[in-house]
Amino acid sequence: MFNLLSAEFYKLRKSKGILLGLLAAALLVLLLYGSLVMIDKINQGELANGTNGVMVFHNGEPAESDGTAESMMEQVGVIGVIQQMFGGHFVGMILAVLVSMFVIREFGSGAVKNLVGKGYPRAVIFLAKMLAVMVLTLIFQAAVLAITIGMGLPFMGQEMFSATVWKDAVIYAGFQLLFGTVIAMFFMLVGELARNLAAGIAVSIGVLMFSTTLTAGLDLVFHGLNFQPSDYWVLDLMSDCPVKDFSSEFIVRGILVSIVWFFIAAVLGIVHFQKADVK
């Protein structure tokens, strides 16, 4: 197991995927902060509505700048930008690509076949890869958080930045790290099942973007039973996670649901890897 882990972490260190993913995330963060600056300038009448393609609407109509509108930067704040990056699935989409590449390329290169041929137990091979994916996910998400917070200071200024309720930010970030790790396990499961890079990425992003639509439909089906399946799907929890006033019910449910889905994904992956042919 130690040799396998060392090999997986070596591949993580040598991979350029994380750096490219962080670059993409940094550009998205820059775009979000830049959009808030543009909106504030339009609201204050410093720029015309529609400048650089940014349109501001009030009550469904293009806004007329009167210089009295409340600052969007103050309304959204650092936590709001973090929420957009994680709850809006920007980070999830990048992770879907990174995890799929890290898992599926091993099948195409024959690395997995070589490991099986050397006599390593399949469950141990899968667990080593799973631990590496968890480390990749946590490092990437933590780095995106650092980038988002770090970029907030020059855009917002010291006074507005200091007004952030950091206790809420830490709790929200902790939940997003937890949910993101569970979702990464599903991306790994998809990669194990698909073993084709294009298919793995497409299905992973499909699960990320459209599974909540399915749970919303199930909520309607079970409406009469006073039961909402969306309350127990990790992607819904990720999207709907509050940024303040965290109830004890949500905290307990979020942790338990994450643990259950994590083990479901891990067990399904191990079972399939043990039974499927490795070509």
Q: What is the DSSP string of 54-91?
A: ---EETTEEPPP-S-SPPHHHHHHHHHHHHHHHHTTHH
Buried b (16+ CB within 10 A) or exposed e, 67-79: eebeebbeebbbb
Assess if residue 176 is contained within a domain: yes
Domain span holding position 267:
2-22+77-275
Name the percent of the chain in helix, strand, coil, to the closest 5: 80, 0, 20
Token pair for residue 196? 């084709």
**Would you state the pLDDT for residue 48?**
61
Assess if residue 63 is contained within a domain: no
Assess if residue 88 is contained within a domain: yes
Assess if residue 202 is contained within a domain: yes
Measured between its terminal Cα atoms, the distance across the chain in Å is 22
Buried b (16+ CB within 10 A) or exposed e, 209-247: eebbeebeeeeeeeeeeeebebbebbbbbbbebebeebe
Assess if residue 45 is contained within a domain: no
Evaluate whether 90 touches 84 at the Cβ level (below 8 Å). Answer: yes
Assess if residue 44 is contained within a domain: no
pLDDT tens for the chain, 279 residues: list them.
667 878 787 888 888 888 999 999 999 999 988 888 877 777 776 666 656 556 555 544 455 555 555 677 777 778 888 999 998 889 999 999 999 998 888 777 777 777 777 777 888 888 989 999 999 999 999 999 999 988 888 877 776 667 677 788 899 999 999 999 999 999 999 998 888 889 999 999 999 999 999 999 988 888 877 788 999 999 999 998 998 888 999 999 999 999 999 999 999 999 988 887 776
Assess if residue 68 is contained within a domain: no
Assess if residue 167 is contained within a domain: yes
* pTM for the predicted model, two decimal places: 0.86
